[in-house]
Structure 1
Amino acid sequence: LRRLPSIVVFSQLLTAISKLKHLHPHSTIVSFFRQLELLGIRSDRHSLGILANSYSHLGRVDLGFSILGKSLKLGYPRDHVFFHSLINGFIINDKLPQAVQLLDKTVKLGFQPDIVTCGVMVKGLCRIGDNAGALSLLNKLQSSTHCKPNLVIYSTIIDSLCKDRLLREALNLFSTMKMEGIKPNVITYNSLIRGLYNSGCGKEAKHVLTEMLRSNIVPTVDTYSILVDMFCKDGNVEEAQATLQCMTDKGVAPNIITYNALLDGYCLRGQMEDAEKLLDLMKQNGCEPNLISFSTIINGYVKLKDIDKALTILETMFEKGIAPDVVTYSTLIDGLCKSNRLKPACQLFADMQAYGVTPNVVTYNSLLDGLCKSAQLDEAVAILEDMDDKGIKPTTVTYNILMDNLCEVGQLEDAVVFFSDLQSKGLQPDSKTYNIMTKGFCKEGLMKEADKVLRKMEEDGCLPNDITYNTLIRGCILNNDFSKALYYRDLMFSKGFQADAHTISLFVDLLYSDKLSISSKGLLQKFLEGLEVENN
């Protein structure tokens, strides 16, 4: 019989397997160890460490501890690599408190965590959004003599701060790392550029980009993707196209994120022909469109009210084996409802559930609005009941839809009930909510009630807008209370708002009608003169 290799050789093989992350190696390693035990091959300290690490990655930190116990029984000394694997296992499985406890114990045992362990801890804290904890650990490392924070740790925290829009803190930390002599890399810069732009600081994002280029740091595909997205969201699609061409010329292949950003730019501007051409280009370059690509195209066609074309794209998705998600379905259902095509909207609503896609509150709101506007109130009530059965809580938007449509059909009392219900359920009315109720009361001639809504709106900290004042003014005029209309006009002007075209048109029509007295026309004339002065 051939002699089996030693455990050292097997450990080398196991180490190589553990690095093949795309093959999910840890289950393979556990199975391999069982075979070694059956063959009577005794594990050494290194191989046991590999096994403990695999158990930790598989979510069985308890078995990792068992392997640690076995190692100690075999007479091997405690190993910081073991502890690192177990701490990492807790973090991977979102058990950060246990990771912190184990880290404290290892320090008490005389082991100082290395930079890898500290990096894992920082990453875990950032992943759960504990930026304060990550910064606290960073401060400890900065004052440490044996384990100074490195580029990875700084970049991880900066990225987390940017994602939580804590930009001042991110920029301060960025300055600190440079003062400490740690040079930011392209990953650090990408995080800052993306974070600044997503928070509306486009100018600052461009400054950071300029600094990066002056530091001779080569942009990656992520950098270019961020730039394409920035230009598209600013409506500068031509610049986005130029960026795509530039990266291609420099040998950087666009990825799905780059293409999807440009697709979104085309769709935002209604350039659907260009969007379709880009889809073809993606395929030619070996980058197959994904769910986001097709959903973006569908949204573009829906915005142009070309619902049939949007439905054709949906069919293409099915043909390619790409399952639509709740966003895709909600976009189409909203488009169908706004086009008064309720039957296919309801059918699509049923289809999505048949395919295992659960509607969300946005889906329900679209269908609810369509049914209400088509005076199918019984069906709308059924939709509300279905929401309740599925445990989907209505939002302020849901209530706004109901109240608006009830006011339109003269069911003001029911709208008032929903208005009270909204607040009793802890939802916050927005300006649209108050404006709907104001309009409802004005329509019924209940101007005192409309004025109460204005007062409540102000008391609740929701500032009235131009729609609020114009609605009240029109209500006063239609109810022949011209002096009150003048009062609201002056109040509106004092808040910096102007009369809209609808209000002015109403006054002009009344001024030239035969239904008003001379004194009433005098008040209207005074009103219009005030408008002219304000507009000038």
Structure 2
Amino acid sequence: MKSMRPLPSIIDFCMLLSAMSKIKPHPPFSTVISLYRHLLFLGLRPNIYSLTILANCYCRLNFVDLGFSVLANIIKLGFQPNIVTFTTLINGFIHSNQFEKAVPLLDKILKLGFQPDMVTYGSLFKGLCSSGDNAGALKLLRNMESYGHFMPNVVIYSTVIDSLCKDQLLPQALRLFKEMKVKGISPNVFTYTTLIRGMCTLGQQKEAQEMLTEMLRNNITPDVNTYSMLIDMYCKEGKVGEARDIFVHMIERGFVPNIITYSALLDGYCLRGEMDEAEKLMDLMVENGCKPDVVTYSSLINGYCKSKKIDKALGLLQEMHFNGLAPDVITYSTLIDALCKDNQLKLAHQFFKEMEAHGLKPDVITWNSLLDGMCKNGQIDEAIATLKEMESSGVAPDIITYRTLMDGFCESNRLREAMDIFSFLTAKGLHDLRAYTIMIKGFCKEGLLAKADELLKNMEDNGCFPDECTFNTIIRGFIDGRDISRALELVRLMRIKEFAADNHTISSFVGLLTDPNIDDADKDLLKKFLVIRKNGRSND
């Protein structure tokens, strides 16, 4: 076109520049700018359309200041900026994460007498919501209504509702949902799917089911995203059969499952240990042209680890590498945890180093798995060194970290060090049930029954109420210490709180009946307890 004489008009070149700036997935904005400059060199006079294309290219390259320079040039050349020009600049602020400048620019546009269109508002809502500024989005929603140029539509309402749900602000999302219906704006499949997902995230399965029923009653057909989310919801509840039925139903209705659908159902099978079904589903997705991703493999690896088939899990890791997939932190953490539980600490450390070598930063879950493996194997000093390494890497210990170390110290007869951690936690106001139970077990192990009893009494004073595990732990401590009277007192207290002795505790009581060191009076108490328990179970 540049070599044609006479040159084509600026309108013809604008069509070319516009088309180039929309090329997916990576528009050549710099090339468009260079071509525009060359056209000016050839003597072609710009128009408002070409200048707006130029401003857009600068803005998309994050040079918003140059976009405003183009605006100044538009005015200088005697052209009148239009709403498309200003929307381009607003989009520039949004694209460059300068959200705090986008809304004030809208206010200035309004004062100049311009009327924003739905494209302008849509860009602003999308930007505010993607940045998590829900308050800003809600304020803009009210301003939009007061301006009266355009009323919010289903897309704008759904965008804000989606953002609220993602931030787990479900009550506000439901109020907005109710508001749009009162105003006669009918929710669409995206609106309903967003709300159902928000409810599922908060564990409100019943409400999610009711929302689905309302959606179907209003003749709104679920899409693939809705079906995928429902399958995920049922799988997380352990209702894999129902999830499978939904999977079959969606296929029968002509919907093609995507990677999210397959991964959700596959994860459900893995969590239940149904690895044969998981493998069949994996084969089906490959057969249907859906390539497994990191999430898919991580679910399978997790399933095999939980089924104690670590060799199969390691084989899948090699398969991932072969297929060009890079394991993520979750993949490695799952394997490291399984290896530590299987006492394969050396291999666990190798994978830990491998993930770091691949630029992956172990998270607190990864570190906790290593610490637990060390403590279970009596490697307490190594665990302390690992804790220091963990903190120096910028990962803060959590309550599970402290529990793990406390339990390790108690099992290694280093009660004083366990008590130091416990005191550190309580001084910070952290009264954790499991931490109390671990310390009670530690005192019982050392024969310090009075201290264990005192700690049990202190728990409730600190608003931390003992559970069934706590009672069984201290009762066994008193049984081992041959204080049958106090053990049975604790059993009665446990029953008042509607807890039950577990099999380990009952076996400990039964074992005392044949112990020659137990006097006849205590044996009579034991027999009465066991008869009462037997009768109680019969009545049940």
Give yes or no for TM over 0.5. yes
* Range moving further from structure 2, 501-510 or 197-206: 197-206
* Range moving further from structure 2, 71-80 or 362-371: 71-80
Supply the AA of the counterpart residue of 1:46. Answer: Y
Task: Give the Cα–Cα distance (whole angstroms) in 2 for the partners of residues 295 and 173 of structure 1.
Answer: 37
**What is aligned with 1:463?**
465
**What is aligned with 2:316?**
313
Q: Aligned in 2, Cα 1:109/1:284: closer, same or farther, shift over 3 Å?
A: same
1:485 aligns with 2:492: no
TM-score normalised according to structure 1 size: 0.93
**What is aligned with 1:167?**
170
* Range moving further from structure 2, 522-531 or 41-50: 522-531
Report if aligned partners of 2:48, 2:81 keep a CA contact under 8 Å in 1: no
TM-score normalised according to structure 2 size: 0.92
**What is aligned with 1:92?**
95
Which stretches in structure 2 are left out of the alignment for 5+ residues?
Answer: none
**What is aligned with 2:264?**
261
Q: CA deviation at 1:423?
A: 5.0
Report if aligned partners of 1:221, 1:254 keep a CA contact under 8 Å in 2: yes
Task: Give the Cα–Cα distance (whole angstroms) in 1 for the partners of residues 246 and 77 of structure 2.
Answer: 61
Post-superposition Cα deviations, 1:228-285, rounded to whole Å, max 9, x if no partner, equal 2223223333333333333233332111111111111221222212222222222222
1:351 aligns with 2:354: yes
Instruction: Find 1:519's aligned residue among 509, 518, 521.
Output: 521
**What is aligned with 1:377?**
380
Q: CA deviation at 1:528?
A: 4.2
Where do residues 105-504 of structure 1 align in structure 2 (5 Å cutoff)?
A: 105-422=108-425, 426=428, 428-504=430-506
Identity %: 54
**What is aligned with 1:33?**
36
Number of residues of Structure 1 aligned to a counterpart in Structure 2: 535
Task: Give the Cα–Cα distance (whole angstroms) in 2 for the partners of residues 382 and 233 of structure 1.
Answer: 37
Supply the AA of the counterpart residue of 2:67. Answer: G
**What is aligned with 1:71?**
74
Supply the AA of the counterpart residue of 1:216. Answer: N
Q: CA deviation at 1:306?
A: 0.3
**What is aligned with 1:59?**
62
Q: Secondary structure at the match of 2:113?
A: coil
Task: Give the Cα–Cα distance (whole angstroms) in 2 for the partners of residues 384 and 442 of structure 1.
Answer: 27
Q: CA deviation at 1:526?
A: 5.1
Supply the AA of the counterpart residue of 1:506. Answer: S
Task: Give the Cα–Cα distance (whole angstroms) in 1 for the partners of residues 458 and 149 of structure 2.
Answer: 62
Q: CA deviation at 1:38?
A: 3.8
Q: Aligned in 2, Cα 1:126/1:428: closer, same or farther, shift over 3 Å?
A: farther
Supply the AA of the counterpart residue of 2:201. Answer: N
Report if aligned partners of 2:116, 2:149 keep a CA contact under 8 Å in 1: no
Q: CA deviation at 1:435?
A: 1.0
Post-superposition Cα deviations, 1:114-158, rounded to whole Å, max 9, x if no partner, equal 332223222233223333332232233334422211111111111
Report if aligned partners of 1:396, 1:427 keep a CA contact under 8 Å in 2: no
Task: Give the Cα–Cα distance (whole angstroms) in 2 for the partners of residues 315 and 153 of structure 1.
Answer: 46
Q: Aligned in 2, Cα 1:407/1:71: closer, same or farther, shift over 3 Å?
A: same
Report if aligned partners of 2:193, 2:226 keep a CA contact under 8 Å in 1: yes
Q: CA deviation at 1:367?
A: 1.1
Q: Aligned in 2, Cα 1:75/1:458: closer, same or farther, shift over 3 Å?
A: farther
Task: Give the Cα–Cα distance (whole angstroms) in 2 for the partners of residues 99 and 423 of structure 1.
Answer: 47
Q: Aligned in 2, Cα 1:420/1:32: closer, same or farther, shift over 3 Å?
A: farther
Q: CA deviation at 1:532?
A: 5.3
Q: Aligned in 2, Cα 1:319/1:183: closer, same or farther, shift over 3 Å?
A: same
Q: Secondary structure at the match of 1:375?
A: coil
Report if aligned partners of 2:58, 2:66 keep a CA contact under 8 Å in 1: yes
* Range moving further from structure 2, 53-62 or 24-33: 24-33
Coordinate RMSD, CA, aligned: 2.3
Q: Secondary structure at the match of 2:348?
A: helix
Supply the AA of the counterpart residue of 2:486. Answer: K
Supply the AA of the counterpart residue of 1:493. Answer: R
Report if aligned partners of 1:131, 1:161 keep a CA contact under 8 Å in 2: yes
* Range moving further from structure 2, 302-311 or 356-365: 356-365
Q: Aligned in 2, Cα 1:448/1:154: closer, same or farther, shift over 3 Å?
A: same
Q: CA deviation at 1:400?
A: 0.9
* Range moving further from structure 2, 451-460 or 367-376: 451-460
Q: Aligned in 2, Cα 1:294/1:34: closer, same or farther, shift over 3 Å?
A: farther
Q: Aligned in 2, Cα 1:63/1:442: closer, same or farther, shift over 3 Å?
A: same
Instruction: Find 2:83's aligned residue among 80, 83, 103.
Output: 80
Task: Give the Cα–Cα distance (whole angstroms) in 2 for the partners of residues 224 and 433 of structure 1.
Answer: 42
Task: Give the Cα–Cα distance (whole angstroms) in 2 for the partners of residues 18 and 330 of structure 1.
Answer: 43
Q: Aligned in 2, Cα 1:38/1:307: closer, same or farther, shift over 3 Å?
A: farther
Q: CA deviation at 1:523?
A: 4.0
Supply the AA of the counterpart residue of 1:356. Answer: G
Q: CA deviation at 1:33?
A: 2.6
Task: Give the Cα–Cα distance (whole angstroms) in 2 for the partners of residues 451 and 92 of structure 1.
Answer: 62
* Range moving further from structure 2, 347-356 or 209-218: 209-218
Q: Secondary structure at the match of 2:517?
A: coil
Instruction: Find 1:14's aligned residue among 12, 17, 28.
Output: 17
Q: CA deviation at 1:40?
A: 3.5
Task: Give the Cα–Cα distance (whole angstroms) in 2 for the partners of residues 443 and 417 of structure 1.
Answer: 17
Q: CA deviation at 1:522?
A: 4.0
Task: Give the Cα–Cα distance (whole angstroms) in 1 for the partners of residues 41 and 363 of structure 2.
Answer: 53
Report if aligned partners of 1:224, 1:247 keep a CA contact under 8 Å in 2: yes
Task: Give the Cα–Cα distance (whole angstroms) in 2 for the partners of residues 75 and 330 of structure 1.
Answer: 63
Q: Secondary structure at the match of 1:323?
A: coil
Post-superposition Cα deviations, 1:76-127, rounded to whole Å, max 9, x if no partner, equal 2233222222222222333222222222332333334333222322223322
* Range moving further from structure 2, 199-208 or 64-73: 199-208
Q: Aligned in 2, Cα 1:67/1:341: closer, same or farther, shift over 3 Å?
A: same
Task: Give the Cα–Cα distance (whole angstroms) in 1 for the partners of residues 431 and 284 of structure 2.
Answer: 47
